[in-house]
A = this chain, B = another copy of it.
Amino acid sequence: MRFEINKDKLLYHLLIAQKALSNKTPNPALQGVKLDVEKDALVITTSNAEISIKIVVEDASLSVESEGSVLIPGKYFIEIIRKLDGQMVHVSHVEDNLIRIEADHSDITLNVLELDDYPNLVFKEKDESVKINVRTLKTVIRQTAFSTSTIENRPILTGVHLQIDGKTLTAVATDSYRLSRKTITLDAEYDPMNVIIPGKSLEELMKILENNQEDVTVHFDQSRVLFKYANVSFLSRLLEGNYPETERLIPQEFPVKITFNKEALMLAIERASLLSKHDSHNAIVKMTLRQDDTVTIASNSPEIGRVLEEIHPVDEVVGSPIKIAFSSRYVLEALKSFASSEVAISFTGETRPFVMTGEFDEAMLQLVLPVKTD
């Protein structure tokens, strides 16, 4: 095995593949980057327990002298390629267990890992697949995945629930204290589909998707989902089980509705979170709609001090005075997911979930449960 390639091109693809590389794994083979050098292509594969990535590099700078496969310790390989001088890099298999990397005045040899220990990953495409625009997919992930649970006592809630029905795709995530729901319309009709994808997998996928207008094709089977995009294949396991019924959690009647400037509301909540005894992440703040239609955001930590913020809603307030307490982090994360500069919060009652919507965030809803205080 021996090939030459532009160093920056190789690094670019390795940094994508790195997203599926784990440093801590019971299987040392998974610390490796697998290179399959074919006649006209370099295939880079990485995998951890959750996700696997395969990239087929067919760059004009690639010149293959001899074909072959090798498993290289990922951390060292990527750091070496990152730090090399010169434009081109040569990689060759010099002995059974040694790889040689040459560039400019550098001559580096690395012990390889045992290729036979590498899992057999199947990146097979299905006949039927779903097409989604890249930007739309990134928006769906950005507006839902943050609401997945990070604790493992209910594993199903660490995933995003995706449902396809005809031309409609609905994504829902909840950690049981808040919920995010986004619906999009697909370009074609599809058979019904119902899967739960780990939130972390989707967040890694989001990082490597680039903001151009190409489509991602999504291939589902019983236990895995394959996202194909440009020369990248991204495979994730699915979560098994039934996702809880979430529709009934969402109130249908909202006697109170207040529209805010999103930035002003976020800054007020951030300031009210500053005086939390532990850290501002777990701060509880109180929102009060007063008789005169101004809103206050307040917090009180007897040992430290108190904050009182006054906000004037941007639109006419619907409903009568209400007082509600919530986790500042949940509301801030929900607000951050909006593209709209104005966000409406609708309330059903002081102990019922409240719902956030935005004019320019079509078919997207963020729900947060209030916190009981004395």
Q: List A residues at the B interface (Cβ < 8 Å).
A: 73, 76, 79-80, 83-85, 98, 105-111, 267-268, 270-271, 274-275, 303-311
Contact = CB atoms under 8 A, between A and B. Distances in A.
27 contacts: A73-B304, A76-B274, A76-B275, A76-B305, A79-B274, A80-B271, A80-B274, A83-B271, A84-B271, A98-B305, A105-B309, A105-B310, A106-B268, A106-B308, A106-B309, A107-B307, A107-B309, A107-B310, A108-B305, A108-B306, A108-B308, A109-B306, A110-B275, A110-B304, A110-B305, A111-B304, A111-B305
Interface centre among A105, A267, A268, A308 (most CB of B within 10 A): A105
Contacts of A306: 108-109
B267 A83 contact: yes
A308 B105 CA distance: 8
A178 to B, nearest CB: 24
Number of copies: 2
A161 to B, nearest CB: 36
Nearest to A108: B307
Contacts of A270: 83
Which 8 pairs show the lowest CB-CB distances between chains A and B?
A110-B305, A105-B310, A107-B308, A108-B307, A109-B305, A83-B271, A79-B274, A111-B305
A220 B306 CA distance: 44
A319 to B, nearest CB: 22
Contact of A111 (B76, B98, B111, B303): B303
Contacts of A106: 268, 271, 307-309
Nearest to A102: B308
Contacts of A305: 76, 98, 108-111
Contacts of A267: 83, 85
Contacts of A309: 105-107
A81 to B, nearest CB: 10
A111 to B, nearest CB: 5
Contact of A108 (B84, B107, B271): B271
A14 to B, nearest CB: 14
A306 B106 CA distance: 11
A31 to B, nearest CB: 12
A254 to B, nearest CB: 26
Nearest to A112: B305
A212 B210 CA distance: 43
Contacts of A85: 267
Contacts of A83: 267, 270-271, 274
A270 to B, nearest CB: 6
Contacts of A98: 305
A197 to B, nearest CB: 35
